[in-house]
Amino acid sequence: MITPLQVTARLRDPVTDDDHTRGPVDAPVTIVEYADFQCQFCGAAYPNLHELLRQRAETVQLVYRYFPIANVHPYAERAAETAEAAGVRGRFWEMHDWLYEHQDQLDPVHLSLGVEQLGLPPDEIAGEVDRRAHADRIRRDFAGGIRSGVNGTPTLFVNEVRHAGGYALPDLLAAVDAAANA
């Protein structure tokens, strides 16, 4: 008999070419992260995931999906829209990193400065964000997270199975090594 936990413990939406990915496409381990740029726990996981990719560069592909929890984090959706606007210009990961490294500066004024620091057109991006040009993409990721049982951030799936361990580097390394050797 399948329990509800088993049903929701797997990734429901497969990785596609539309996803934001880091690492080799043919890596033996794919981590899908559902995250919120304003979430302090996502901010704590960020350097560990960054280091994991460095230490297991040939083993891991990281996929980032938006899961802004707007009722708790008032700037999360705007940050996601900004990241997506940067992504349309081929600069998603640079914006992603800036957002996590400046989590205390996600208000519109600081976001605009961050966009400018990355050499992106602040007025164009602000216009896209204001008219919610990328909202469908963010909603699609969010809905996929809901289908996969995501109920908080960060939530990781390692080779399509929900990661039940912690986000400390040793936990992530152990999960990746186990998945690579499975």
CATH of the domain at 49: 3.40.30.10
> Can you give the pLDDT at residue 73?
97
For residue 115, being part of any structural domain is answered with yes
**Digit-coded pLDDT (tens) for 87-137:** 999 999 999 999 999 999 999 999 999 999 999 999 999 999 999 999 999
For residue 2, pLDDT beyond 60: no
Residue 9: pLDDT band by 50, 70, 90 thresholds?
Answer: confident
For residue 1, pLDDT beyond 70: no
Average pLDDT, the chain: 94
Distance, in Å, from the CA atom of 87 to the CA atom of 96, rounded to the nearest integer, reads 9
For residue 26, being part of any structural domain is answered with no
**Digit-coded pLDDT (tens) for 35-81:** 999 999 999 999 999 999 999 999 999 999 999 999 999 999 999 99
For residue 129, being part of any structural domain is answered with yes
For residue 11, being part of any structural domain is answered with no
pTM above 0.85, yes or no: yes
> Can you give the pLDDT at residue 7?
43
- Which structural domain, as residue segments, surrounds residue 113? 39-163+171-180
For residue 23, being part of any structural domain is answered with no
Q: How many CB atoms lie within 10 A of CB 127?
A: 12
How many structural domains is the chain composed of? 1
For residue 93, being part of any structural domain is answered with yes
For residue 34, being part of any structural domain is answered with no
For residue 99, being part of any structural domain is answered with yes
